[in-house]
Chain A
Amino acid sequence: MSSINEILAIGKGGMAVSKALLAVAGKNMANVNTPGYSKEYLTLSTSQFAGLGVNVNGPLGIRNPILSDSLRNVLGNQGFFNGQLLPLLSIEPNVNDLDGNGIGKALSEFKSTMQEAMANPGSETHRSAIITAADFLVQSFNSTSKQLTETAEKTREQAEKVALTINTIAQNLAELNSKIAVLAHGKEPPNALLDQREQLLQKLSSLISIDTLDVGDGTVSVFIAGGRPLVDHALASTVTINPPNPAPGTPVGIEIIKPSGQVMNAIGKIGGALGGMLVAHNDVIIPGLTDLDEIAFELTTQFNAIHAGGVGTDGSTGNNFFKALNAVGGSASLIALSDVIKDDPKKFAAAAVGGTLPGDNTNLELLLSMPEQIGVLSSGKSIEDGWFDIQIHFGNALGTAQTGSDIESATVNQLANLLASETAVSIDEELILMNQANQSFDAAGALIRAAEEMSATLINLVG
């Protein structure tokens, strides 16, 4: 049987618990809009000692490691597709004939002027039109090449900035690990630090795909690029883009430098925005640029070969139509009309050697069919089909990135909603808790008053 003092102690304990509940409800409501905040709660249990009322543990934060891990994985996938979107979206207008511009349209106009000249090859007007259209074609090649090269360069620069952000986050995670390890075995878990760390992990995973390992001492190790350590306890590695300052068109990768100075290469998927940018740079833009260079080179070389074999209306032969190019690399940026053609339309070789000038269109016919000639490119395709393939190459990459981004965004939303449902604050719940705390506080007060009255009655009996 409990003594009056024990009853008073129970009442006091009940009031303390009510105050603690009110404080937790208040903190939860105050942080209802704090990003990444996990709802805190107290665990209450009956005291093991008879008559001593209630035990309180906490506050603890609501966490769901499985959902958090899934969200981070999906954020990595979403970042991967989003990382490709920006560079590819900026390129698309340059490789899209559907908008009525671009190399395909310029090539078509060039062919149109030649087709028209087929019926009047001696006409200076038609010859000038061919040269004007050819000039527009080479400018289209030049500007498309410039746009692709600049976008590749900007993508690489952006990847370098993302690597710097990754390094800052890794450093912050290492510092948080260190603080959490110290507080992990204290009376109250470091909820705010744990929330901060989870938020940083989510931000990091959108920049680069990560795997995490809860080491057990309160720290979390982070691995990237197929198992390379980024954060290990209180130590952080750094990520760099390699090679630094490469020549335009050079593929780039990442290097992971451990705190010891040991340098490691990626051995698996990089993922996240950084991985997306590297894919856009290495697998989409640079191959597209290489293909464009080959088209410009073969157009120049093959067209020149046919042209040099023909005769201009002034009787000249052996002239190049385009300035000769020495190598495939950079051809799209270098392709230009030869000065001799630019200055004198009479030198356009529509006629065959030995033909009858100026109405001979036999060489012009060969020139006209050259862009359609199969087998000109290393892929076995024609110049026209090669350009078509480039449009499809970029369209496919961008379409895949857009679809991927949409799908992953939907999954991110779904997981974020599940996580918010489980770990975030519900004002209604907190209000109910507040009322419960208020009522239990009143009840504890009533218990103390009753015990005091009983105590007074007993004292009076004695008196």
Chain B
Amino acid sequence: MRVTEALISQFINQANTAAKSAVFKATQKVVSGKKLESPSEDLVSAQRILHLDGILEELNHFDRARAIVQADLDATDTVAFAAINTMTNALETAVQMANDTVNPDDRVAEAEAVESMREHILDLANTKLSDGRFLFSGMAEDIPPFDENGVYQGSTDKRTVEVMPGFRVEQQTLGTELFGDPSIIKTLDLFVTALQANDTVTISQMITELDDAIHSMSLEHVSIGGRLKNVKETEVLLEDLTLRTQIQRAESQDVDLASAITELNTAELAMSAAIEASKRLIGASALRWLS
């Protein structure tokens, strides 16, 4: 092969460009921490990353909705617990007041306490969340579920929300489901009236009615707790799925820094070698001894 001056300069240019390009690419990887930054660099990996991005975004969407559902169910659980406690107090009062040894004045006095329990239950039933929604109105969450007489005026429709792909949860508990239909407010009204009237027969019947109401509320409480537990488990599952997907994504896009730095060192070494070899090639001329 004839080694002409044009060949030498072209060759040095090509070697230098290739070496610099390799150093640039390796530096870019180290600086960005990414194996690829656009689909054109590696279509197959890009498709995989975009697909994983889609999954991550979907999981994030679900998690956002899950957080609201969980907060609502938490509030519902707390209210149910408080309501059952109040009703248990009312039941204890009924048991005490049904006793023949209690005098009528004590029953009248106790009526006030039960009345205050009734107001508490009404307040709990009309619980309003910080964003202004009524907790037990079903879909008609802008109106109080119960009127002053304890009559339910909310919606009979409940909202369900998908909190994980394919897993839907009832976000809402209707007022009628927890507080009965007719509501326990009406039962408490009857209890107050019976106490004021010293009606021991009705007071005795109240024991059964209150006991049934507590039983029914407890069953609903269990249902709420079950849903809350499921949603909390969903949170863990979503976190786990997100983490696994992020790991898969990182494998496809994130650079292994140790190998990237090694690659950079190798590229720099190759560039130094190319420069040194070029110097020798330029110097290897008959010009020195023939001129």
Interface set of A (CB-CB < 8 Å, partner B)? 32-33, 39, 88, 92-93, 96-99, 104, 108, 111-112, 115-116, 118-123, 125, 351, 355-361, 365, 384, 388, 391-392, 394-399, 402, 413, 416-417, 420-422, 424-429, 431-432, 434-435
Q: Complex Cα distance A115/B168, Å?
A: 13
In-complex Cβ contact of A424 among B4, B133, B137 (8 A)? B4
> Could you tell me if A384 and B161 are in contact, using CB atoms closer than 8 angstroms?
no
- Per-position contact with A for B52-85: 1 when CB-CB < 8 Å, else 0? 0110010011101100110010000000000000
Distance in angstroms from B46 CB to nearest chain A CB is: 6
> Could you tell me if A361 and B39 are in contact, using CB atoms closer than 8 angstroms?
no
In-complex Cβ contact of B285 among A93, A399, A427 (8 A)? A427
In-complex Cβ contact of B3 among A33, A120, A361, A426 (8 A)? A426
Known: A97-B50, A119-B171, A417-B11. A426 touches B39 (CB 8 A): no
> Could you tell me if B162 and A422 are in contact, using CB atoms closer than 8 angstroms?
no
> Could you tell me if A395 and B38 are in contact, using CB atoms closer than 8 angstroms?
yes
In-complex Cβ contact of B57 among A108, A428, A431, A435 (8 A)? A108
Q: CB of B149 within 8 A of chain A?
A: no
> Could you tell me if B161 and A431 are in contact, using CB atoms closer than 8 angstroms?
no
Q: CB of B101 within 8 A of chain A?
A: no
Q: CB of B37 within 8 A of chain A?
A: yes
> Could you tell me if A413 and B162 are in contact, using CB atoms closer than 8 angstroms?
no
List 10 interface pairs A-B (beta carbons < 8 Å), by A numbering: A98-B53, A118-B161, A119-B159, A122-B133, A365-B162, A394-B39, A395-B46, A396-B40, A420-B6, A428-B3
Q: CB of B139 within 8 A of chain A?
A: yes
In-complex Cβ contact of B139 among A96, A108, A357 (8 A)? A357
> Could you tell me if B286 and A361 are in contact, using CB atoms closer than 8 angstroms?
no
Residues of B with C-beta under 8 A to A88? 40
Q: CB of B263 within 8 A of chain A?
A: no
Distance in angstroms from B71 CB to nearest chain A CB is: 9
> Could you tell me if A413 and B14 are in contact, using CB atoms closer than 8 angstroms?
yes
> Could you tell me if B139 and A356 are in contact, using CB atoms closer than 8 angstroms?
yes
Residues of B with C-beta under 8 A to A397? 40
Residues of A with C-beta under 8 A to B286? 427-428, 431-432
Known: A119-B161, A431-B287, A432-B290. A96 touches B38 (CB 8 A): yes
Distance in angstroms from A426 CB to nearest chain B CB is: 4
Which of A99, A111, A112 has the largest count of B CB atoms less than 10 A from its CB? A112
> Could you tell me if A395 and B39 are in contact, using CB atoms closer than 8 angstroms?
yes
Residues of A with C-beta under 8 A to B39? 92, 96, 98, 391-392, 394-396, 398-399
Q: Complex Cα distance A119/B71, Å?
A: 10
> Could you tell me if B162 and A118 are in contact, using CB atoms closer than 8 angstroms?
yes
Q: How many A-B residue pairs have CB under 8 A?
A: 174
What are the nearest 3 A-B pairs in CB distance?
A: A395-B39, A424-B6, A119-B68
Q: Complex Cα distance A108/B61, Å?
A: 9
> Could you tell me if B4 and A112 are in contact, using CB atoms closer than 8 angstroms?
no
Residues of A with C-beta under 8 A to B36? 98
Known: A119-B69, A355-B139, A356-B139. A420 touches B4 (CB 8 A): yes
Residues of B with C-beta under 8 A to A398? 38-40
> Could you tell me if B7 and A123 are in contact, using CB atoms closer than 8 angstroms?
no
> Could you tell me if B69 and A92 are in contact, using CB atoms closer than 8 angstroms?
no
> Could you tell me if A357 and B140 are in contact, using CB atoms closer than 8 angstroms?
yes
Residues of B with C-beta under 8 A to A428? 3, 285-287, 290
Q: Complex Cα distance A97/B1, Å?
A: 50
Q: CB of B276 within 8 A of chain A?
A: no
Q: CB of B280 within 8 A of chain A?
A: no
> Could you tell me if A392 and B43 are in contact, using CB atoms closer than 8 angstroms?
yes
- Per-position contact with A for B34-49: 1 when CB-CB < 8 Å, else 0? 0011111111001101
In-complex Cβ contact of A92 among B6, B40, B156 (8 A)? B40
Residues of B with C-beta under 8 A to A33? 5-6, 9
Residues of A with C-beta under 8 A to B156? 356
Closest to B68 in A: A119
Q: CB of B106 within 8 A of chain A?
A: no
Interface of A is mostly: helix
Known: A98-B38, A119-B68, A420-B7. A111 touches B287 (CB 8 A): no
> Could you tell me if A118 and B65 are in contact, using CB atoms closer than 8 angstroms?
yes
> Could you tell me if A99 and B38 are in contact, using CB atoms closer than 8 angstroms?
yes
Q: Complex Cα distance A421/B4, Å?
A: 6
> Could you tell me if B38 and A425 are in contact, using CB atoms closer than 8 angstroms?
no
> Could you tell me if A421 and B3 are in contact, using CB atoms closer than 8 angstroms?
yes
> Could you tell me if B40 and A356 are in contact, using CB atoms closer than 8 angstroms?
no
Closest to A107 in B: B57
Closest to A431 in B: B290
- Known pairs A360-B157, A395-B38. 14 more at Cβ < 8 A? A33-B6, A98-B37, A112-B61, A116-B61, A116-B68, A119-B65, A119-B72, A122-B142, A357-B140, A365-B162, A413-B14, A421-B4, A427-B287, A432-B286
> Could you tell me if A112 and B1 are in contact, using CB atoms closer than 8 angstroms?
no
Q: CB of B28 within 8 A of chain A?
A: no
Which of A115, A398, A417, A426 has the largest count of B CB atoms less than 10 A from its CB? A115
Residues of B with C-beta under 8 A to A417? 7, 10-11, 14
> Could you tell me if B131 and A120 are in contact, using CB atoms closer than 8 angstroms?
yes
Known: A108-B57, A119-B69, A413-B14. A359 touches B7 (CB 8 A): no
Which of A96, A97, A359 has the largest count of B CB atoms less than 10 A from its CB? A359
> Could you tell me if A384 and B140 are in contact, using CB atoms closer than 8 angstroms?
no
Residues of A with C-beta under 8 A to B290? 428, 431-432, 434-435
> Could you tell me if A396 and B10 are in contact, using CB atoms closer than 8 angstroms?
no
In-complex Cβ contact of B157 among A355, A420, A426, A434 (8 A)? A355
Q: CB of B144 within 8 A of chain A?
A: no
- Per-position contact with A for B1-41: 1 when CB-CB < 8 Å, else 0? 11111110111001000000000000000000000111111
Closest to A361 in B: B159
Q: Complex Cα distance A242/B286, Å?
A: 57
Q: CB of B291 within 8 A of chain A?
A: yes
> Could you tell me if A359 and B68 are in contact, using CB atoms closer than 8 angstroms?
no
Q: CB of B176 within 8 A of chain A?
A: no
Q: Complex Cα distance A257/B110, Å?
A: 109
Known: A120-B133, A424-B7, A428-B286. A359 touches B172 (CB 8 A): yes
Closest to B290 in A: A431
Closest to B163 in A: A119
Closest to A109 in B: B57
Distance in angstroms from A430 CB to nearest chain B CB is: 10
Residues of B with C-beta under 8 A to A365? 162
Distance in angstroms from A398 CB to nearest chain B CB is: 4
Distance in angstroms from A303 CB to nearest chain B CB is: 17
Closest to A108 in B: B57
Q: CB of B202 within 8 A of chain A?
A: no
Residues of A with C-beta under 8 A to B138? 356, 359
Known: A359-B155, A431-B290. A426 touches B41 (CB 8 A): no
In-complex Cβ contact of B2 among A119, A125, A358, A421 (8 A)? A421
